[in-house]
Amino acid sequence: MKNPVCSVAIVGGGPAGLSAAIRAAETGLSHVLLEAESHLSNTIHRFQKGKYVMSEPVKLPLRSSLAFEAGSRESILDAWTSEAVRLEVNVRRNSPVKSIAGEDTGNFSVELADGTTVSAANVILALGLQGQPNKLGVKGEDLGFVDYHLDDPDDFNNKVVVVIGAGDSAIETALALAEQNRVIIVNRRDGFHRAAAGNRNAMLEAIADDRLECFYNSVPRFIEEQDGRARLVLEASGETSEILCDRIIARLGARHPRAFLESCGITFSGDETTALPMLNSQYQSTVQGLYVIGSLAGYPLIKQALNQGYEVIEQIRGKPVSPVEEELLLDKFTGVPGFATVDEILTKVGGMGPIFGSIDALPLRAILLESRILSPAPGTAIFCHGDYSDSFYSILCGEILIQLRENEPELIVRLNASEFFGDTELISGRRRTLTAIAGENCILIETPRLAIKKLSASNQTVAETLEIAAVERSLRWHLIPGLTENDFKTLEDRVTCHNYETGEILFQEQAYGDSIFFLRSGAVTVTQTMDGREVPYRLVTAGDYVGGWGALAVSVRRATACAQAVTSTVEIPGEDFRWLVQQYPELLRNVHSNILTHHVGKTEAAQQNGEVISFLMEQGLGEATDVLLIDESICIRCDNCEKACANTHSGTSRLNREAGPTFASVHVPTSCRHCVQPHCMNDCPPNAIHRASSGEVFIQDTCIGCGNCVQNCPYGVIHLTSDKDENKPSLWARLLFGFDEAAVGGTGSGCHKKAVKCDMCKDLSGGPACVSACPTGAAFRGNPKDILVELKEEASCTDQY
Amino acid sequence: MYGSILSYGQYRYLKQAAALVLIALLLYLSSSPGEAPNGGTWQGYTLGGISAALILFLLWFGIRKRQYHCTETTLFRWVSAHVYLGISLPVVVTLHCGFQFGWNVHTLAYGLMVFVVLSGFYGLYAYLVYPEALTANRCGISRREMITTIARLDDTCLALAENLGAEAHHKVLREVVETRLGGTLWQQIIMGASLPVLPLFQWKFAGNFVASEQAGLNVKDQSAEYFLRRYLQESQNKVEIQRVVELLKVLNERQFMVSRVQRDIRYHAFMKCWLLLHVPISCALLAAVMVHVISVFFYW
Ligand SMILES: Cc1cc2nc3c(=O)[nH]c(=O)nc-3n(C[C@H](O)[C@H](O)[C@H](O)COP(=O)(O)OP(=O)(O)OC[C@H]3O[C@@H](n4cnc5c(N)ncnc54)[C@H](O)[C@@H]3O)c2cc1C
Ligand code: HEM
Ligand code: SF4
Ligand code: SF4
């Protein structure tokens, strides 16, 4: 039997799908809403109980028939569910969609997991990003004891929980539960190789400390009920054993929805994991009649999802509305002559050269929405040498003057309309190495770093354009300012670009090699062997080069260079470099002084020092811009640093003094390293994490508390917490009885949780409170490069004895 | 990286304190030779004023320590100033009173001051000595790791003892159960310590003689180790002997860890305990000084 054809089938009942279904119901459009779970909005359903759901971005107007205001998870879910009942939305719960067949409007056939099909003229895909979790595939996999996710570890207390899996999510689940429960992790393999290094180490440490048990080489066979508990039978290294437990949580990964979309015939913008489905400005995919909206389309916030649901139904009803975002876009361009309509904006910006020219209308609109339009007066500095800004600028019209050297203001390069600048620091994440000054009639588009990074990750043309520019600018702007066009042309085909992973070797001591490496991003340590031990003595960061000795001496390498973070280089072959040095004597002087400054004696002190440097590198200092260290030989463990942090940050300390490793009395407490390329920024839905112009990475108030950054930071320094009551004990109580305990991370109760981390006290004029509150001078913060220089100086002082 | 409390800013506050003491001495010596120097002369008033100002400055440190928003000057610098000016205080005060003591509130204030200064000296000593001792004792591992190691060794001991009969198991179990870590401040200090606890004095008691005597005291009839050693002497069974040796080894390792944790706790206590006297007695001193000043002005 064939079902009657409805106008639209909506897959997924989250905010995006539900908003579409409600609009369809309200306007009498025949529809069906297919939801995999027994309740609507599974993603929100799984938020922590009582979570305060925020309605970012505040500036974006809501255009949906579904009301939405910031409020508790429960109030929002209740309101939405009753609205769906009131408007008689045709919902089919427990109906996961398996496949969709059909190529054009009017004849889609949607197949459900139970084998039934639904026919629809249009299909809206609003599946969200969570994907369907992989099941255990054994008898009992669907028993009530078995879960495929963990919502709130606090729901479990004093229970026996088995976690199955060995990836990051399994580890995080197990560690979170182990705080208050007996946890057994069941791992199919003999290690945790698939997990990120931080998680893997934390896991192995926990197992070594007996905080949880691990069954290696173990495969679950079946699960059954026994006296109200679950009995899991597994095969462990060939032998059968069993575990009696209260709950089994399997974290075996999820089938990413991308595969599903592709099986429907939808094309993606690239192969990278960050690539998005290709959509037109009405969210229609490359298959006519198939629409993709919500987080699946790359819009990570609820309000965006709601708006899109509404707009797509209007489109299908033949009453298209222009997306609300377009009003915001027009606002941005008010006052810019010749940019009065959205079409004008998109065609003109789209015609502006390789970066914006290569993107489709929808991502272009999204990127412009995140950007700012600037019309600086002539002579204004857009950024200066040494600033910590990291935006990317495109010149809409007018001229920009780039000063290549801080102390030589005459050394200038002129850029014109359609060209871009600020790309160097986009890649390096370091301070500005140039000064940019506005010329006459200049109008600029300032795009945030993350938007451009995402774009170049998903768009080959953009990536290539940036790469080509980077090579030319590395040579002509940074390494050899004044390099002529002709000389560059000769060199252009000779140089090569490389990317190195952390720990990869650029060149090895005693091996022959004479090229030099200019670092575009990352950091490299230079080590020498002394008495059979590798002793690092120098940290080279983006904008500098390594290999000068080998290139000039044409002999074997005197040292080993090893990447300490993901590093990209421009490699110039030795003979070309020697030719360059002849043409540009200043370069030769530079290389010579570099070699002399970094010459080290082979001394005992240098060796000890090298060990400390190696230790610090293992702690991620290679990618840090500023790090807190504690000298344990003078630290009196008074925790005044934590108290100071808590007192200056609404009651919660962002640093944990005691945690973290120690080597030779150098202690690295758990505290933000203000990474060169902050991992925490990568996946923040409201883009709430920024870098201040003085370098601090901080979280804005627009945080929605989703916890992505907590997961993404490899150093475990972000916590979700709500502000504490300012119920401080009196001064006398604190003075006489020491009643001022600091709370470290995550202790605030309440549901309005937000992510908090160290902001280096950027709003206090005297610098970080932790450092200034240390009574013995044991705590210090600094740039790793300076710290290494200081260590070296201390070592050379000791050498004199 | 910034030097120590004492050497802050190339001994800036040592120099200032020394200058202060010098000025006080000159003032004292300038008082007319005929009359006995005391608080009543203009020099005495000046010295008294300086002392009072010093005391207020030293007390203010307790408040400054909690002004976490003031990050312009570091607390480190304040401590350095506090220590040197604190040391200069008894000199200035003694010159102020012209060595006149008696059974009255004035001398009470003096006594309290001396006490605070002495406790301050102890604190300074603790701050200079224990951090390094503590770090060395830790050896790069955390207290939590040490405690989990003890828990693991507990399990191993008990499992080994189970094979050696009920009495052995009971003795080991008692040792495990009776191990105490931490407690009240006093317990934190004495737990597992070989008296006297201060390393300052310990050298006196070093040497084999004391060590062996202490060992004799520790191995009481009750201890599991004593029991096992006897067992070892009496037993003929090779397998059993091996088990006992193994158990003794683990017990030893465990004891080593336990004393390491106890030492860790003790060092922490050493660095904290003195403030429990230093601060309250400073407050008492403030009260006594106020009484002293009032009585001097109204009843002299
Ligand atoms: C912890 C956390 C906190 C957050 N807090 C906020 C916040 O405060 N404010 C904010 O604006 N955003 C927040 N977000 C983001 C927000 O949850 C998402 O933007 C939003 O849920 C996306 O909506 P969606 O409709 O696209 O997808 P989803 O909400 O993920 O909905 C997808 C639905 O599709 C169903 N489904 C999946 N596969 C199938 C299938 N094959 N067949 C049928 N149905 C299927 C799912 O069961 C689910 O119900 C948060 C996210 C997280 C993880
Ligand atoms: C009469 C003289 C003194 C007074 C009134 C005084 C008062 C104080 C006060 C109020 C504190 C604050 C403690 C806290 O809040 O935690 C303090 C701390 C301290 N004092 Fe004194 N003090 C005096 C003399 C000294 C001397 C002579 C020394 C050293 C030789 C000294 C060393 C210290 C030290 C090391 C601290 C601790 C700093 C810290 O942990 O932050 N004091 N003193
Ligand atoms: S929070 Fe973590 S990832 Fe972000 S800057 Fe700090 S250390 Fe780096
Ligand atoms: S929790 Fe982290 S990732 Fe999520 S919104 Fe807040 S800052 Fe961004």
With respect to residue A341, please indicate whether it lies within any of the assigned structural domains: yes
pLDDT at site B196 = 42
Q: How many other CB atoms sit within 10 Å of the CB of residue A136?
A: 19
pLDDT surpassing 80 at residue A254 = no
Residues A202 and A269 in one domain: no
Would you say the CB of residue A733 lies under 6 angstroms from ligand 2? no
Yes or no, beta carbons of B135 and A665 under 8 Å apart: yes
pLDDT at site B30 = 83
pLDDT at site B210 = 38
Residues A212 and A269 in one domain: no
pLDDT surpassing 90 at residue A456 = no
pLDDT band at B38 (very low <50, low <70, confident <90, very high): low
Residue A268, domain CATH: 3.50.50.60
Q: Does B275 touch chain A (CB under 8 A)?
A: yes
Which residue would you say has higher pLDDT here, B58 or A71?
B58
Yes or no, beta carbons of B75 and A636 under 8 Å apart: no
Domain carrying residue A161: 133-254
pLDDT at site A457 = 78
Q: Minimal Cα–Cα distance from A543 to chain B, Å?
A: 28
pLDDT band at A399 (very low <50, low <70, confident <90, very high): very high
Q: Which atom of ligand 3 is nearest to the CA of A623?
A: 8
Residues A213-229: pLDDT tens digits? 899 888 999 999 988 89
Average pLDDT over residues A513-525: 89
Dist CA A38 CA A35 (whole Å): 8
pLDDT surpassing 90 at residue A35 = yes
Average pLDDT over residues A418-422: 91
Nearest to A662 among B131, B140, B268 (CB): B140
Q: Which atom of ligand 1 is nearest to the CA of A56?
A: 11
Average pLDDT over residues A259-268: 90
Residues A127 and A140 in one domain: no
Q: Does B205 touch chain A (CB under 8 A)?
A: no
Best residue among A52, A703, A753 to mutate for probing ligand 4's pocket (most ligand atoms within 8 Å of CB) is A703
Residues B127-171: pLDDT tens digits? 999 999 999 898 878 888 888 888 888 888 888 888 887 888 888
Nearest to A648 among B62, B69, B144 (CB): B69
Residues A115 and A179 in one domain: no
Q: Minimal Cα–Cα distance from B97 to chain A, Å?
A: 29
Average pLDDT over residues A539-544: 86
Mean pLDDT score of chain A = 86
With respect to residue A792, please indicate whether it lies within any of the assigned structural domains: no
Which residue would you say has higher pLDDT here, B41 or A4?
B41
With respect to residue A750, please indicate whether it lies within any of the assigned structural domains: yes
With respect to residue A66, please indicate whether it lies within any of the assigned structural domains: yes
Residues A362 and A430 in one domain: yes
Best residue among B50, B61, B94, B286 to mutate for probing ligand 2's pocket (most ligand atoms within 8 Å of CB) is B61
pLDDT at site A733 = 65
With respect to residue A615, please indicate whether it lies within any of the assigned structural domains: no
* Helices A342-350, A324-332: inter-axial angle, 10-degree rounding: 70
With respect to residue A117, please indicate whether it lies within any of the assigned structural domains: yes
Q: How far is the CA of B278 from the centre of ligand 2 (A)?
A: 7
pLDDT surpassing 60 at residue B298 = yes
pLDDT surpassing 80 at residue B205 = no
pLDDT surpassing 50 at residue A449 = yes
Running DSSP on this structure, what letter comes out for residue A474? I
Residue A511, domain CATH: 2.60.120.10
Yes or no, beta carbons of A637 and B271 under 8 Å apart: yes
Residues A335 and A455 in one domain: yes
Dist CA A385 CA A404 (whole Å): 9
pLDDT at site B204 = 35
Where does A522-657 show beta strands of DSSP type E? 523-530, 533-541, 545-546, 560-563, 567-572, 627-631, 652-653
Nearest CA in chain B to A762: B71
Q: Which atom of ligand 4 is nearest to the CA of A707?
A: 1
pLDDT at site B221 = 53
Would you say the CB of residue A685 lies under 6 angstroms from ligand 4? yes
Which residues of A fall within a CB distance of 8 Å from B134? 632, 637
pLDDT surpassing 70 at residue A745 = no
A and B: number of Cβ contacts within 8 A = 118
Yes or no, beta carbons of A777 and B74 under 8 Å apart: yes
Residues A294 and A375 in one domain: no
Residues A665-704: pLDDT tens digits? 889 998 999 998 899 998 898 889 998 888 899 999 899 9
Nearest CA in chain B to A207: B148
Q: Which atom of ligand 1 is nearest to the CA of A48?
A: 1
Q: How far is the CA of B111 from the centre of ligand 2 (A)?
A: 16
pLDDT at site A136 = 87
Check: CB of residue A130 under 8 Å from CB of residue A43. Answer: yes
pLDDT at site A715 = 87
Dist CA A34 CA A118 (whole Å): 10
Dist CA A799 CA A793 (whole Å): 10
Average pLDDT over residues A568-580: 90
Would you say the CB of residue A684 lies under 6 angstroms from ligand 4? yes
Residues A649 and A694 in one domain: yes
pLDDT at site A801 = 32
Average pLDDT over residues A353-375: 85
The lowest-confidence range among A533-547, A678-692, A784-798 is: A784-798
Check: CB of residue A269 under 8 Å from CB of residue A276. Answer: yes
Average pLDDT over residues A531-551: 82
pLDDT at site B106 = 86
Residues A399 and A453 in one domain: yes
Residues A463 and A334 in one domain: yes
pLDDT surpassing 70 at residue A337 = yes
Residues A239 and A375 in one domain: no
In one-letter notation, the amino acid at residue B177 is V
* Helices A449-458, A460-473: inter-axial angle, 10-degree rounding: 120
Quick one: which H or E segment has residue A219? strand A218-226
Residues A268 and A120 in one domain: yes
pLDDT band at B214 (very low <50, low <70, confident <90, very high): very low
Q: Number of structural domains, chain A?
A: 5
Average pLDDT over residues A722-735: 62
pLDDT at site A30 = 94
Mean pLDDT score of chain B = 82
Which residue would you say has higher pLDDT here, B300 or A789?
A789
pLDDT at site A82 = 93
Residues A134-185: pLDDT tens digits? 888 888 888 888 988 887 788 888 899 999 998 888 998 898 898 889 999 9
Return the structure tokens found at A351: 């015609």
Would you say the CB of residue A56 lies under 6 angstroms from ligand 1? yes
With respect to residue A476, please indicate whether it lies within any of the assigned structural domains: yes
pLDDT at site A598 = 63
Secondary structure class of A337 (helix, strand, coil): coil
Domain boundary among A321, A352, A368: A321
Return the structure tokens found at A681: 């920024």
Would you say the CB of residue B278 lies under 6 angstroms from ligand 2? yes
With respect to residue A575, please indicate whether it lies within any of the assigned structural domains: yes
SS (H, E, C) chain B: CCCCCCCHHHHHHHHHHHHHHHHHHHHHHHCCCCCCCCCCCHHHHHHHHHHHHHHHHHHHHHHHCCCCCCCCCCHHHHHHHHHHHHHHHHHHHHHHHCCCCCCCHHHHHHHHHHHHHHHHHHHHHHHHHHHHHHHHHHCCCCHHHHHHHHHHHHHHHHHHHHCCCHHHHHHHHHHHHHCCCCCCHHHHHHCCCCCCCCHHHHHHHCCHHHHHHHHHHHCCCCCHHHHHHHHHHHCCCHHHHHHHHHHHHHHHHHHHHHHHHHHHHHHHHHHHHCHHHHHHHHHHHHHHHHHHHHHHHHHC
